[in-house]
């Protein structure tokens, strides 16, 4: 159960990071309000990550962080920015899901 709670915290943190990335991309570093919002979101992501470190060992946190970043990045790129979903991206998705699964094994 600790692993699931930690996983949820990491997903939340990565989601904040992805939203911050999107906001900064939309700002084109010209809109000060969007830039400030992006940096605020980056700062807020530290809270769930710090909590996740209490639930999951150090190494798996980074493995899961990277895998969730790949998964959310592929989803956002495909849906929001209309990038094509290639066979290489599907392979990356499979590897990311495998990494999450394997990191849950102790």
**Which tokens belong to 21?**
């990335």
Number of domains in the chain: 1
From residue 82, alpha-carbon distances to 9, 59, 102 in Å are: 28, 33, 31
Nearest to 61, CA basis, from 93, 1, 14? 14
Q: What is the pLDDT of residues 61-77, one digit of tens each?
A: 889 999 999 999 999 99
How large a percentage of the chain has pLDDT more than 90?
75
The CA distance from 14 to 71, in Å, is 10
Cβ atoms of 74 and 46 closer than 8 Å: no
Range of the domain at 78: 2-103
The pTM (predicted TM-score) of the whole model is 0.84
């Amino acid at each position: 159960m600790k692993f699931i709670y930690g996983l949820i915290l990491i997903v939340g943190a990565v989601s904040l990071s992805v939203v911050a990335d999107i906001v900064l991309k939309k700002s084109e570093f010209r809109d000060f309000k969007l830039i400030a919002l992006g940096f605020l979101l980056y700062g807020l992501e530290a809270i769930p990550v710090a909590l996740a470190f209490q639930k999951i060992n150090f190494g798996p946190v980074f493995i899961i962080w990277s895998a969730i970043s790949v998964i959310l990045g592929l989803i956002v790129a495909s849906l929001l920015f209309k990038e094509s979903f290639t066979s290489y991206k599907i392979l990356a998705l499979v590897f990311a899901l495998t990494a999450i699964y394997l990191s849950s094994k102790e």
